C-alpha cells in the first residue's frame, strides 16, 4: 500500500513548515514503511542553517523519521487520529548522523516496527540519500489523548 500527500495530510496533523513526509512508497502494517522527503532550497530552515552551506538539521531528519513511524503506527492499529489525540516522541536512542543532507537531495525514510507494548512503539529507523545512509536511530513513540 502507498500514500500520496492527500492521504498523509489526512493522517498527520503537521502542516508547513513542519510536515516532513511527501509520499509513502510502501507501508506494511505491523512491519515497515518506506517514505520520501524531498529536500528543497525553499525550506525555511536553510536561511539560518547554514546560509553559506545549507544543511538539513539532524533533528528535522529525526522528525521526518518519526512522522513516517507515526503513519506506520496508525496503519498497524488501523486508526485515523483525531483532534483529541497526539502522537509524541517517548525517546530517541543510538542516533547517528552519517552524511549531510543538502538542497536537491531526496531523503528515503525506512522505518521498521521493532515492538509494540502498552501503547509504546519502538522503531528502528534510517534515512538515506541515493542509498547512502544519512541518519539512523531507534525511536520510541506513543499516542496520548489531549485533556481538555
| Residues taking part in catalysis | 49
Instruction: Give the burial string for 26-63 (b: 16+ CB within 10 Å, else e).
Output: ebeeeebbbbbbebeeebeebeeeeeeebebebebbbb
Phi and psi of 97, rounded to 5°? -105, 125
**Is residue 116 within 8 Å of residue 122, measured between CB atoms?**
yes
Q: What is the C-alpha separation between 87 and 105, in angstroms, rounded?
A: 27
Amino acid at each position: 500500500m502507498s500514500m500520496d500527500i492527500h492521504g498523509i495530510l489526512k493522517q498527520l496533523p503537521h502542516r508547513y513548515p513542519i510536515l516532513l513526509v511527501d509520499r509513502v512508497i510502501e507501508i506494511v502494517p505491523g512491519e515497515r514503511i518506506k517514505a520520501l522527503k524531498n529536500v528543497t532550497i525553499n525550506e525555511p530552515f536553510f536561511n539560518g542553517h547554514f546560509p553559506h552551506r545549507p544543511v538539513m538539521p539532524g533533528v528535522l531528519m529525526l522528525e521526518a523519521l518519526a512522522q513516517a513511524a507515526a503513519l506506520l503506527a496508525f496503519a498497524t492499529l488501523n486508526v485515523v487520529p483525531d483532534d483529541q489525540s497526539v502522537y509524541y516522541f517517548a525517546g530517541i536512542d543510538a542516533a547517528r548522523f552519517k552524511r549531510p543532507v543538502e538542497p536537491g537531495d531526496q531523503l528515503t525514510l525506512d522505518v521498521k516496527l521493532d515492538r509494540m507494548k502498552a501503547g509504546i512503539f519502538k522503531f528502528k529507523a534510517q534515512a538515506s540519500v541515493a542509498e547512502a545512509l544519512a541518519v539512523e536511530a531507534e525511536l520510541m513513540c506513543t499516542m496520548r489523548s489531549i485533556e481538555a
